[in-house]
Structure 1
Amino acid sequence: MTAYAVGHLTEVDTGPAIVGYLEGIDATLALFSGKFRIHGGQPEKLEGDWLGHLIVIEFPDIQAARAWYWSDAYQDIVALRTDNSKGHIFLIEGVSDDHASIEVLQSRSAAWNSLF
Structure 2
Amino acid sequence: MLRAGASQRDHQSRYESRRKNLRYRLNAEDYQKIQGYDDLQKQLDEAKALLAQCQDPQGLVKSLQESAERIRLLEKENVDLSRILTNYVSNPAMLPCRAADASIKREVLVKREVP
What TM bracket, shorter-length normalisation? under 0.3
Task: Indicate the structure with greater helix content.
Answer: 2
Q: Which has the higher contact order (CA 8 A, sep 6+)?
A: 1
Which structure shows the bigger proportion of residues in strand conformation?
A: 1
| Structure possessing the higher radius of gyration over alpha carbons | 2
TM-score by length of 2: 0.22
So what's the TM-score if we normalise by structure 1?
Answer: 0.22
